Amino acid sequence: MAGDFLIVRHFPFRIGRAQDSDFQMNDLGVWDNHLALEFRKNGGVFLRAESEAFVAVNEQPQTNVRLRNGDVISFGSANIQFWLAPVKRLRLLPREMAVWLILAGVTGFQLCFIYHLLR
């Protein structure tokens, strides 16, 4: 599965061998319920290892840790990399053009108004 990616759309997201896991992996050393990814408000995404399951993040053993972009999660014989999805950029050109047109209209109106006052 090297090079594949998976989009997580709900939390908690469970990884393991069990049939009810959100992402089922049959690699050597992966337990039925090996780890879970949890989202915490104002905290980000956290990795929580199930009891006594070995999980390393960036080669450091962890049981509960906040994940950052690019972290490599190792468990059993599997390695996965954690990435946040890129942010979709809104198309702002129509809004910007509308604002500039309004500003040009207001400026033109003010110039015409000043011209009529000075006459």
Distance CA 81, CA 2 (A): 11
Q: How many CB atoms lie within 10 A of CB 55?
A: 21
Lowest average pLDDT, out of 5-9, 52-56, 70-74, goes to 5-9
Q: What is the pLDDT of residues 69-84, one digit of tens each?
A: 999 999 999 999 998 8
Reduce the DSSP state of residue 28 to 3 states and report it: coil
What is the arithmetic mean of pLDDT over 13-19?
A: 94
Reported as type and span, the H/E element at residue 104 is helix 93-118
**Overall pTM > 0.85:** no
Distance CA 64, CA 80 (A): 17
What is the arithmetic mean of pLDDT over 24-37?
A: 91
The domains of the chain are located at 13-81, 89-119
Q: How many CB atoms lie within 10 A of CB 60?
A: 9
pLDDT at residue 1 is higher than 70: no
What is the arithmetic mean of pLDDT over 2-16?
A: 86
What is the arithmetic mean of pLDDT over 18-45?
A: 92
pLDDT at residue 64 is higher than 90: yes
84 vs 86, residue with greater confidence: 84
Name the architecture of domain 13-81.
Sandwich (2.60)
pLDDT at residue 2 is higher than 80: no
What the block records as the tokens of 17 is 């061998």
pLDDT at residue 47 is higher than 70: yes
